[in-house]
Amino acid sequence: MLEASGMMVFYENMLALNNISMNCESDQIVGVFGANSAGKSTLMYALSGIILDIKKKELMAGGERITVAGDVLFDGKALTGVKPSKRAKMGIVLCPERRRIFKESTVLENLKIGGYLASPAKARDTLEFVFSVFPVLDKLKKRIGGFLSGGEQQMLAIGRALMAQPKILLLDEPLLGLSPLMQAMLIRSTRDIRDQKKISIIITEQYARPVLPIVDYAYVLENGSAVLEGTRNDLMDNPDVRAAYFGI
């Protein structure tokens, strides 16, 4: 469904992504694991096209020179140079790191803004779906986004991304800074979303253990390179991986 090959991203002369090739099939959950600065977020930005926006802004402000190379194919269509808003319309929706919810708007407004691309009927259906997956949001509908707890904000961010009718949802570090209980809940919800909505999900995380049970396939990034990849069981059985990423 989403296929990247030879992805390279440079920030000035710093290589942030080194020849990454990855693949996500329909209805799959694909994990991307790696430490800080391994290139997870850059990969997400490259897939969703946000990197093009960052590049444009940097260029205008005379900041860092960003170079992007490689091909991304989505449903067989090449995405090179396609604007991020267009990619979102095609169905690649990013739920960004640190959630970035609209802090001055209410929960309901956040979700409605997320439904910008959806038809009114679709938006209503999805809103119901989001409330069924995250019942807490239904109760907090009128609350201002900035007053939510971290876990609630993360649910809101995922719900908002769902409102944009993704075919493939990119979750960038959804578990960051959350309690183990909340992490487990979010992971369960992620799987439910995949099962019920029939969408593909790419999920990145520093720490693989909480996420690994639900992924079908995973990649391990280190300094911008994919050092390992395999199915869940392949990675589970690999002693290096267990030591380095799972803390087992």
Partner 1 sequence: MEILIYGTINSVALALYALGFAMVYGVSRLPNFAHGALYVLSGFITWTVLNTLGLNYFLSILVSFAATAIIGALIYQFVLIRIRGMEISEIIASYAIALAILEGMRWAGFKGMNYTLPVFIEGSTTIAGVTVDVHRLIVVAAGTALFGLLWVFTRYTRIGLALRGMAQDERAALMLGIDSDVMAVVAMGMGSLMAAMAAALLLPLGNIVVESGYNVLILAIAVCIVGGIGSWGGAVLAAFIIGFAQILTVVFIGPHFQQVVALFAIIITLILKPSGLFGQQKELEERV
Binding site for partner 1 (CB under 8 A): 48, 50, 53, 57, 60-61, 83-85, 88-89, 93-96, 100-105, 109, 112-117, 160-161, 163-164
CB of 157 to partner 1, least distance (A): 9
CB of 136 to partner 1, least distance (A): 21
Closer to partner 1 by Cβ: residue 116 or 147? 116
Closer to partner 1 by Cβ: residue 20 or 50? 50
Residue with tokens 């079908």: 216
- Bridge partners of 7? 20
Closer to partner 1 by Cβ: residue 100 or 139? 100
> Which among 166, 169, 196, 157 has a CA at the least distance from the CA of 24?
169
CB of 163 to partner 1, least distance (A): 8
Single-letter residue type at 162: L
Written as six digits, the tokens of 218 are: 């995973």
3-state secondary structure 80-105: CCCCHHHHHHHCEEEECCCCCCCCCC
Provide the 3-class DSSP secondary structure of residue 164: coil
CB of 33 to partner 1, least distance (A): 22
